[in-house]
Structure 1
């Protein structure tokens, strides 16, 4: 496309992320290019600059800058062995959605420095599926359950039940120190900010932050560490990582919020990936008219950590 396009968002779109909206229009458009447009201010909604988290709805006008499919949109092909590996990690699938056990170290989508992430690989694995949209996200180093919608109607449904907190999300985190079992709730608001060197982080912000609620369901002591079973009542960026850090028990191998000295010692033992795992998703499937519970077994890196103790 060698000219600027103005796209009016149709009535069937309800608060869809700008990146997912564009990919629904241009199936081969990589998110790395979308994010480049955002950084440069070339992508606009209603004549205003956007962020990665900007959502569009019916009536919005999206300005798309000129681009070339041939020159810019080559997606790295994934080998058959990698696709077979991903196939084995599919936990549950219907005509409307799919749940995958994402391995630690795999980004959910391609971006800066990443040719293909989970979404791009799934599109190669399921080439006949017209669309695959992330319903929620996991950090690159977090393993476990990721839910993707195959249809717009499914995406809207899941957005609604996530917003209404009707999805049960259980995580497992291995943290430094012995967690006080009397502490079973962390209710501290969070906001995003940047450090002086430009690093984007999340912090507790009691004045302007959004409410973030974390429940600790169980605590298992492992040497000088604790394995926490956690229920997320809200889904803020880095919520578990920041909440555990503020309580004095950061997650093991958390390079952004962790204990650098202790984690460097662990790194020497081969413990180099964040020990956070999305272990369970539970929700009501309106088409099947039943409650769905999907579990991803604790990732092998947790066992590997225990062996180093």
Structure 2
């Protein structure tokens, strides 16, 4: 009799658990449908729609995974934007709850997709010098070439790769670029104000201290190896005191202003010929 009672308890327990799970899944489905039908507003990670992103949402997303339902209906649980709910979303939610991350990839994707990339300036030929309306607004806020230079010098980080990969738009949006792309961004913004500018390419010689400061290297050979990502023909002087390499800056005519910029400590005379 005791044995039968235990079996009854076990059956009762699993029956209740199944009912509870089914009830929770119905609630989660209802929340998902409600969220997806109201103005497209989605709070990613808030699976149970209680206004918080916490361990209860981790339990909820586990239930979604256990149910085998990876439907697009669970948009709040699709945290990496691949249109299904899977183990990656569970990992991201757990990471958020314990404080390892402070946002989800889908949020960054949506912000990126919301950027207006309509071109405000494009001559139909040199796309690397094109500008979006967002960039034009930034230029209007900065108002003067000097303010534009100061903004770019304080916000654009130096990167090491050859030729042009990003153009002005990519450099602006990603806050970084090599010498060519940084020059493209500055030229584009100056052209927007009607200040005629052009690329200038030539060889420059950096002292070892400048080269090491620019690259973050601890010795001359390491600095040379990094700078070869810019110019594979860069050379180290015989006494290890300087490095010579090809470099792109720009020429622009703007009266009453003479300034040498510093892109994150990069003293390569980007405005060498500004009048």
TM-score normalised to the size of structure 1? Answer: 0.22
- Asked which structure has the greater RCO (Cα within 8 Å, sep 6+), the reply is 1
Q: Which has the higher strand share?
A: 1
TM-score normalised to the size of structure 2? Answer: 0.23
